[in-house]
């Protein structure tokens, strides 16, 4: 019995990762056949885009529909699958693969920060696999998750750049930053939200002077030219839409006159409001989109749901643990710690800025700023390195994944099936 206990303790992280992997796929494969594409984030517009490519063999005009100004990579993939299988349902299977590729990218990044802490790395991966905000995407037809994947890939290679002193590695890591950023822009232009982080890392490296500054300047100029040249066709196409693209609309909009308490009010906590906070609270809307299905993208709306309450409540444990982990990391490794904080704070800044420019309820969710999940995973992985917190994190993540899978398990009578 003791030998079995020690075995389970030694390999618990692998068992937990295997559990969430299997449950994630079972959940997706159950939900996808039931979920109708018109739900989610403008699902009908995304499918119309793909269908046009299938029927006409070319991209639709940018002004043809409300999603046709979007970058094309995701839609090319979806159109290919629709052509191959003869049904739009095929496009719904893209995001379950993208979810686990994204988790794989996060694992690669966590290995850079914690090279000798495989257990913490895998727990960081589990924290993403069990995160409600990411698990709303696998059933949908939307390019949001693929944008997350490319954004995390860029951030991971920035991690590699931060400490490299080898000029060859600096060049190749910069090459991948450029390639993944371009692929991200060709997937969804909102990847530019991480541009300040990219600029910040290269400015830091220039000041460090570990690699000849002139060569860094030349490399930076070449990267900028390559990005502008590669992204220009997408920019021009989006600019041809009848109305401005989402990005241009936000950038050109005037300040939205929200009440000041919208940005600070916390009364959604004592009210146990798990659903409607996006209409009156920035913080509540973000919380519910991160730790719950507060926007009812999958689940039907009811006044109070026990499973939703558990997910909602787990956030009050996991979020502080992530913050503590980031604090702990910063004390041990200032460079990676500050970069992780910068990722999280930059996404919060974008989130607040967006909400000053858009009064729409959908702006009050963090699904537009999903690169923040990397900072969250780094924090959880770092906190897990504290022996006193391991059992708590194991229990919280296991409960979160189990309850989330049960809560998200679509039933045939739900509105999202029609």
Residue 357's pLDDT band (boundaries 50, 70, 90)? confident
Task: Find the radius of gyration of the CA atoms of the chain.
Answer: 21
Q: Per-residue pLDDT averaged across 227-256, rounded? A: 72
Query: What does the pLDDT read at residue 43?
Result: 85
Residue 7's pLDDT band (boundaries 50, 70, 90)? low
Residue 116 has phi, psi (to 5 degrees) of -110, 15
- Give the distance, in angstroms, between the CA of residue 50 and the centroid of all CA atoms in the same chain: 23
Answering whether pTM is above 0.85, one says: yes
116-117-121-122 Cα dihedral, nearest 10 degrees: 120
E-only strand ranges, 60-205? none
How many distinct structural domains can be found in the chain? Answer: 1
Measured CA to CA, the distance from residue 175 to residue 125 in angstroms comes to 26
Domain enclosing residue 232, as ranges: 2-417
For 104-120, what is each residue's pLDDT tens digit? 999 999 999 999 999 99
CA quadruple 331, 156, 185, 146: dihedral sign = negative
Q: How far is CA 285 from CA 282, 302, 318, 413, in A?
A: 5, 17, 17, 27
Query: What does the pLDDT read at residue 187?
Result: 97
Query: What does the pLDDT read at residue 399?
Result: 97
Query: What does the pLDDT read at residue 8?
Result: 61
Query: What does the pLDDT read at residue 239?
Result: 73
Query: What does the pLDDT read at residue 242?
Result: 52
Q: Per-residue pLDDT averaged across 137-147, rounded? A: 95
Cβ burial, residue 265 (10 Å; 0-12/13-18/19+): middle
Residue 46's pLDDT band (boundaries 50, 70, 90)? very high
Residue 94's pLDDT band (boundaries 50, 70, 90)? very high
Mean pLDDT of the chain: 91
pLDDT exceeds 80 at position 251: no
């Amino acid at each position: 019995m003791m030998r079995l206990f020690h075995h389970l303790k030694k390999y618990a992280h692998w068992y937990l990762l295997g559990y969430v992997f299997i449950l994630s796929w079972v959940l997706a494969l159950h939900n996808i056949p039931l979920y109708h594409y018109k739900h989610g984030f403008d699902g009908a517009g995304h499918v119309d885009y793909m269908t046009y490519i299938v029927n006409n063999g070319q991209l639709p005009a940018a002004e043809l529909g409300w999603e046709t100004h979007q970058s094309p990579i995701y839609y090319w993939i979806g159109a290919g699958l629709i052509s191959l299988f003869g049904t739009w349902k095929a496009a719904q299977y893209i995001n379950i693969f993208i979810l686990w590729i994204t988790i794989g990218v996060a694992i690669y990044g966590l290995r850079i920060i914690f090279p000798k802490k495989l257990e913490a790395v895998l727990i960081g991966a589990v924290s993403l696999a069990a995160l409600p905000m990411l698990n709303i995407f696998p059933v949908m037809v939307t390019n949001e998750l693929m944008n997350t994947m490319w954004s995390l890939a860029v951030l991971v290679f920035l991690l590699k750049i931060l400490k490299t002193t080898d000029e060859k590695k600096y060049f190749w890591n910069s090459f991948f930053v450029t390639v993944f950023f371009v692929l991200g822009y060709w997937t969804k232009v909102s990847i530019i939200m991480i541009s300040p982080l990219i600029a910040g890392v290269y400015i830091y490296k220039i000041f460090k002077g570990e690699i000849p500054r002139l060569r860094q300047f030349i490399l930076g100029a070449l990267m900028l030219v390559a990005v502008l040249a590669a992204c220009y066709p997408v920019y021009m196409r989006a600019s041809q839409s009848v109305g401005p693209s989402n990005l241009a609309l936000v950038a050109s909009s005037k300040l939205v006159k929200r009440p000041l308490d919208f940005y600070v009010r916390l009364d959604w906590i004592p009210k146990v409001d798990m659903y409607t906070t996006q209409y009156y609270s920035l913080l509540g809307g973000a919380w519910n989109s991160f730790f719950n299905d507060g926007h009812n993208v999958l689940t039907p709306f009811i006044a109070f749901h026990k499973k939703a309450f558990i997910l909602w409540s787990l956030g009050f444990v996991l979020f502080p643990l992530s913050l503590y982990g980031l604090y702990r990391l910063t004390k041990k490794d200032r460079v990676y710690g500050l970069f992780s904080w910068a990722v999280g704070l930059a996404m919060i800044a974008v989130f607040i800025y967006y909400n000053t420019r858009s009064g729409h309820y959908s702006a009050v969710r963090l699904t537009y700023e999903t690169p923040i999940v990397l900072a969250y995973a780094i924090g959880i992985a770092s906190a897990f390195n504290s022996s006193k917190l391991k059992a708590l994190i194991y229990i919280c993540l296991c409960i979160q994944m189990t309850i989330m899978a049960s809560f998200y398990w679509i039933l045939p009578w739900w509105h999202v099936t029609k």
